[in-house]
Amino acid sequence: MQFLKKFIGDKAFYKMLFILVLPLIVQQGVTSFVSLLDNLMVGRLGTEQMSSVAIVNQLIFVFNLTIFGGVSGASIFGAQFAGVGDDNGLRHTFRFKMMFGVAATVIAITLFILWGDELTMLFLDNDANEGLDLAVLAAYAKEYLTIMLIGLAPFMIVQVYSSTLREMGDTFVPMIASVTAITVNLVFNYFLIFGTFGFPRLEVRGAAIATVISRYVEMLVIVLYTHIRKSKFVFAVGAYRSPYVPGELVKKIVITGSPLMINEVLWSLGTTFINQQYSTKGLFAYAATNINTTAWNLFCIIMFAMGTAISIIVGRELGKGNKDAAIDLNRKLLFFTVVVHVLIGAILVVVAKYIPMLYETEDEVRQIATSLLMISGITLPMHSLVHGIYFAVRSGGKTFITFLFDSVYTWLVPAMLALYLCKCTALDIVPIYLIVQLSDALKMTIGLLMLKSGFWANTVITTEKA
């Protein structure tokens, strides 16, 4: 009975969680499913095209996480302002996110224009790919990247708006915007990659154009809806009349949020570094890791949704000063996510051998991908717990601790393991991937000790109600 009370919520708890999480699951699920279909469509063009697109997406992933990190730093305050109904505070955090996003987007586009080719070749120019026509691979990557740069700005704007709406507990509108955009992306992918229904056959360029179109559609849906419903989204009223954000709030966001932003940048770079090390095992190994990552994202939709739910639910309680309630809710949320992902991980293990069969690629790639997917399924419950712990600690404003817990750990343990195993051993990609994945067991242990201490549960705002 004590166990049930400690780890399992009542009907009201699960009803609240379901209402909040379901739109996130639908949004993330549709996104991941269409990403898998996109990957399959590009994969039908060949292993070279699929791998080139995957490399560019890995580079853009760093930009995406940079935006996410900057937005998330302000969202710590936004969630707590929303918890107490402070519309002025929410408006100020929205302005901060937008100004940060514009600056980050300009910098990213400049870097990709100047050094995009060099960054791409880090994944291609190695001994394992000797004999391949690297010029052809690089050309595919360049034409894809050039078009994708046009979509960075709308992606940033969507993150600013959708994060603010979610802080208010509205996950439905971002879901509708995302599903609409994804549908557009899927349709135009089919039209433009293969040249169906009278459209030109653009192959890799077609995949990029479809993605860019969908991002502008998503931006229009969420921006227009937010500003039309001003009575509901009061923060949007006068949001662009002035760039003013109180200096004290800017200082707090920078102090609290900078470690979070730096963390997301360094974590994404660490993940990119690990994948770059995997690429030294050859194009087949990198193609297999791409299949694994795309499918793994589909099986992680609840994990991603639960991370957002934890940050919102726990952040609101902390904003109200309810520390004990926040800790209790967090414990129940983490228990729920682990139980769910034991089941999801088992399903992934069972279907692992069938997923690579969907790709038009070599048998060796399929065999490697099957093994990687089985490892991903086995380790999924552990990763779901680590993911939830990260968002819990972050919700209390302990961003320097999350910086150490996430990106510093990534660089010191899995990244260095990947470097050593790929450069200094003759191991194949499968055992290397297994060792790197299992290294997060130490991270999980550290996270559980942090949660047990309760030091992370803090209120970080002072209110200024409109």
State pLDDT tens for residues 215-260: 999 999 999 999 998 888 899 999 999 989 999 999 988 887 787 7
According to the model, what pLDDT value does residue 330 have? 84
Confidence of residue 461 (pLDDT cuts 50, 70, 90): low
Domain assignment of residue 462, yes or no = no
Residues 59 and 70: their CA atoms lie apart, in Å, by 18
- The Cα 206–Cα 202 span in angstroms is 5
Whether the per-residue pLDDT at 31 is higher than 70: the answer is no
For 369-413, how does the pLDDT look when each residue is reduced to its tens digit (9 = 90+)? 999 999 999 999 999 999 999 988 877 777 788 888 889 999 999
Whole domain around residue 273: which residue ranges? 2-453
Q: How many domains does the chain have?
A: 1
Evaluate if residue 323 carries a pLDDT over 90: no
pTM, 2 dp: 0.80
User: Is the model's pLDDT at 344 over the cut of 60?
Assistant: yes
> Within 13 Å, how many C-alpha atoms sit on residue 73's CB side?
31
Long-range contacts of 219-225 (CB under 8 A, 24+ apart): 219/154, 219/157, 219/158, 221/176, 221/177, 221/180, 221/181, 222/158, 222/161, 222/162, 222/165, 222/173, 222/174, 222/177, 223/157, 223/161, 225/173, 225/176, 225/177
In a domain, 463, yes or no: no
Separation CA 195–CA 287 (nearest Å): 24
Q: What are the tens digits of pLDDT across the range 102-115?
A: 999 999 999 999 99
**What dihedral do alpha carbons 312, 318, 320, 326 form, nearest 10°?**
80
Is 458 part of a structural domain of the chain?
A: no
Residue 98 in domain: yes
φ/ψ of 394, rounded to 5, equals -65, -35
Q: Residue 447 above 70 pLDDT?
A: yes
Considering only CA atoms, which of 269, 294, 302, 295 is closest in space to residue 384?
A: 302
Assess if residue 464 is contained within a domain.
no
Is 460 part of any domain?
no
Position 460 pLDDT exceeds 70: no
Distance CA 26, CA 391 (A): 20
Q: Which of 92-101, 126-135, 358-367 has the highest mean pLDDT?
A: 92-101
Q: Average pLDDT over the chain, rounded to whole?
A: 88
In a domain, 334, yes or no: yes
- Alpha helices, DSSP H, located in 125-151: 134-148
Query: What pLDDT is recorded for position 466?
Result: 43
Structural domain contains residue 465: no
Q: What span, in angstroms and rounded, lies between the C-alpha atoms of 251 and 248?
A: 5
Instruction: Convert the pLDDT of each residue in 153-171 to its tens digit.
Output: 999 999 999 999 988 888 7
